């Protein structure tokens, strides 16, 4: 069985990966077909949290926080 969300392309930075995951999640939510309760959205949120946690205390210029994700 193939994963719901493919692995990031080689060479992607964590910021690029998180940005791509957030854009994909937000695009799916904007369609109105998916809600925050859907498996694909929950999986994207999990992957976003994992990358942010992996990055640890490294400072970023990305305009998001983990609280942005819980507001959805």
In a domain, 3, yes or no: no
Q: What is the mean pLDDT of residues 23-49?
A: 96
Residue 68 — pLDDT band, cuts 50, 70, 90? low
| Domain tally, the chain | 1
The pLDDT value recorded for residue 39 is: 97
65 assigned to some structural domain: no
Give the structural domain span for 37. 14-55
Instruction: Please state, in angstroms and rounded to a whole number, the distance separating the CA atoms of residues 10 and 30.
Output: 28
Least Cα distance to 34 among 44, 19, 46 occurs for: 44
pTM of the model: 0.64
């Amino acid at each position: 069985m193939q994963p719901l969300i493919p692995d990031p392309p080689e060479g992607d930075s964590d910021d690029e990966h998180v940005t791509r995951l957030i854009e994909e999640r937000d695009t799916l939510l904007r369609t109105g077909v998916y809600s925050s309760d859907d498996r694909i959205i929950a999986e994207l949120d999990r992957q976003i949290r994992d990358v942010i946690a992996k990055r640890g205390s490294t400072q970023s210029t990305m305009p998001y926080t983990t609280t942005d994700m819980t507001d959805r």
